[in-house]
Amino acid sequence: MNTDVVPVAVGDIAGWDHEADVVIAGYGVAGASAAVEAARGGADVLVLERTGSWGGAAAMAGGFIYLGGGTALQTACGFDDSVEDMAAFLNVAMGPGADSERIADYCEHSVAHFDWLVGCGVPFKAEFFGEPGWEPMGDQGLMFSGGENSFPFNTVARPAPRGHVPQMSGKKQGEASAGYMLMKPLVETATAAGTRALYDVRVQRLVVDTGGRVVGLTARRFGNPVAIRARRGVVLATGSFAYNDSMVAQYAPRIAGRPAASIEQHDGRAIRMAQALGADLAHMDATEVAIFADPQQLVRGVLVNARGQRYVPEDTYPGRIGQLTLYHQDNTAYLIIDGEAHEEAMSSPTPQLMFRPPTWVADTVAELEEAIGLPPGSLQHTVEAYNDGATRGEDPLLHKKPQWLRPIGAPLGAIDLRESTGGFTLGGLATTLDAEVLHVSGEPIPGLYAAGRSTAGLAAWGYASGISLGDGSFYGRRAGAAAARG
C-alpha cells in the first residue's frame, strides 16, 4: 500500500523535530485566524506553511468577507440588517443542502466577528460601492456580493450588502489584493501573540496515539522528513482540492479543467490525510463558479442558453450566473446586447477587467439568431418578450430590476460565453461548530480540527463572494480556540 497519507502510529516516530501545543497546517485565512485564537487561548502555536510565506489563496483574493446582521460597517454605510434576514438569505442562497445550524451560528456571531477583525487591525472604509461588478472599483468597504437585492433573494429576506472588503490604499485596476489587507494584520496579530511559523513544510501524514488521538503530523521540508508534535491539537487549514485532478474527477467533475480564484497548493492533501483516519466529508460536489464576463455588460444585456431561452436575472450575483450556467445550462450562454448598451457599459465608472467585445454583430435579432446558430425563432421570441416587458418597466419572466430594463434595439451583438466559467471546490471535511473533524461514526476525532476550504462550510450548493474568507476566518478562530483547550 502507498502509505503517503496513511496515519502513523506514535510508536513509529523516532523523535520529534518540532513541537507546540497547537500545530496548524496552512497559513492562509483559516490558519492565521486559528493561530490568533490559539495563542490568545494560552497555547504555544506553530504554523506550518507549504510555501515560502504566509498568505494562501486569501492574500490573492478580492478580499470579501461575508458578514452582516448589523455590523458597524453596514450601519456606517446606512444599511439596516438583522441576524434573521441574513440567515433567511443564506438558507436559500447556500442551498439546497445548506446546514441551517451552521448558518444560524455564523449569523448570530457575525457582528462580533467583524469587530474581532477590526480588533486585529483589519481596516475597512465606510463607503458603499453600488455599481455592478465582481468587486469594488476602489477602496470602498461594502458591496452586495450574493444577489441579495435581486430576484429571487429579494423576496426571501430584506436585502442588505454583506460583502465587507478590507481597505487597500492606492489599489489599482486589476489588483485583486484586498485579501492581502486581511491577511497582513491577522498574521501580525498572531505573531504578536507569540505564534511561530515554519515555512516550506509539506504536511504528509497525521500521527495518532493508541487511543486514536491525533498527537502530531509528519511532513517534508526541503526533501527531508520531519515530525511535529502537537501537545493539544492539530488544525488542518490547507485549502480546497481544486488543483487535485483526481479528486475533482471523483467528486466535482463539472469543474474539472477550470480551476479559478484558487492556488496550486490547493491539492486536497489535508482532506486525504483526515479521510485516511476515517473522517467524514460533506458537499463534495459543490463549487464556486465565476463567469468570465463583466457585470456592467451582463446587467445591460439578455443572457440566453443554447435554446435561446433566458434562465437567470442578469443583475444577480455574477457567481450565481456562473453556477447556473455551468451546472444547469451545460456551460453554454450567450449575452445579447445592443450597441447603445454596449457603449454604456464601456463608459461605466468601473473597471472593465472582463469586458468582452461581441462575438457576433447583426442588424436584426433574426440575423443574430442565425449567426449564433440558435433554434429558428427562439431568440426572436425571447427578445420580443423582453422588450415588451421592458417598455412597461417589467420583467415578468425573471424579475430583473427596472433600472436595468430597456428594450434591446439595433444594431446588436452577442458575446459567446460558452466554456467561460471557472471556480474552486467548496466541499471538504465534515466538522462540528467547534471545528472538530468528524469521524464517519459521527463523533469528533480527538485532537483534530479543521477550517477553511478543506472543510464543508456555509455553502452547500450556492455561493456569495466572501463566504470562504468568512467561514474560513470564523471557524478558523473556533478551531484555534478549541485546539488550545485541548
Least distance from C-beta 28 to a copy of itself, angstroms?
22
Rounded-to-integer distance, Cα 397 and Cα 304, Å: 13
User: Using CB under 8 A as the criterion, what x/- string covers residues 437-466 for binding a copy of itself?
Assistant: --xxxxxxxx---------x---xx-----
The answer to whether the peptide bond before residue 446 is cis (omega within 30 degrees of 0) is no
* Residue keyed to cell 476566518: 473
* Grid cell for residue 453: 476550504
Nearer to a copy of itself, 47 or 445 (CB): 445
Phi, psi of 404 (to 5 degrees): -105, 5
Site size toward a copy of itself (CB under 8 A) is 56
Residues 210-229 that bind a copy of itself (CB under 8 A): 212
Least distance from C-beta 96 to a copy of itself, angstroms?
5
**Position 199 contacts a copy of itself (CB under 8 A):** no
Q: Judged by CB under 8 A, which of 50, 283, 477, 478 binds a copy of itself?
A: 283
Phi, psi of 291 (to 5 degrees): -110, 130
Rounded-to-integer distance, Cα 177 and Cα 174, Å: 9
Which residues are 91's β-sheet partners? none
Residues 306-325 that bind a copy of itself (CB under 8 A): 307, 309-311
Q: Judged by CB under 8 A, which of 388, 391, 402, 407 binds a copy of itself?
A: 388
Q: Judged by CB under 8 A, which of 123, 278, 339, 486 binds a copy of itself?
A: 278
Residues 231-270 that bind a copy of itself (CB under 8 A): 246, 249-251, 253-254, 256
Stretch that binds a copy of itself, among 19-27, 114-122, 280-288, 474-482 (CB under 8 A): 280-288
| Cβ-contact 125, 443 below 8 angstroms | no
Residues 6+ apart with CB under 8 A from 341: 297, 300, 301, 406, 408
Helical ranges in 324-453 per DSSP H: 339-346, 365-372, 378-391
**Position 284 contacts a copy of itself (CB under 8 A):** yes
Nearer to a copy of itself, 41 or 447 (CB): 447
**Three-state secondary-structure class, residue 38:** helix
Q: Judged by CB under 8 A, which of 196, 381, 401, 406 binds a copy of itself?
A: 381
**Position 90 contacts a copy of itself (CB under 8 A):** no
Nearer to a copy of itself, 82 or 378 (CB): 378
DSSP of 298-357: HTTSEEE-TTS-B-S-TTS-HHHHHHIIIIISTT--EEEEEHHHHHHHHTSSS--TT---
Footprint of a copy of itself (CB under 8 A): 1-6, 95-97, 212, 246, 249-251, 253-254, 256, 272, 275-278, 280-285, 307, 309-311, 327-328, 375-378, 381, 385, 388, 396-398, 430, 439-446, 456, 460-461
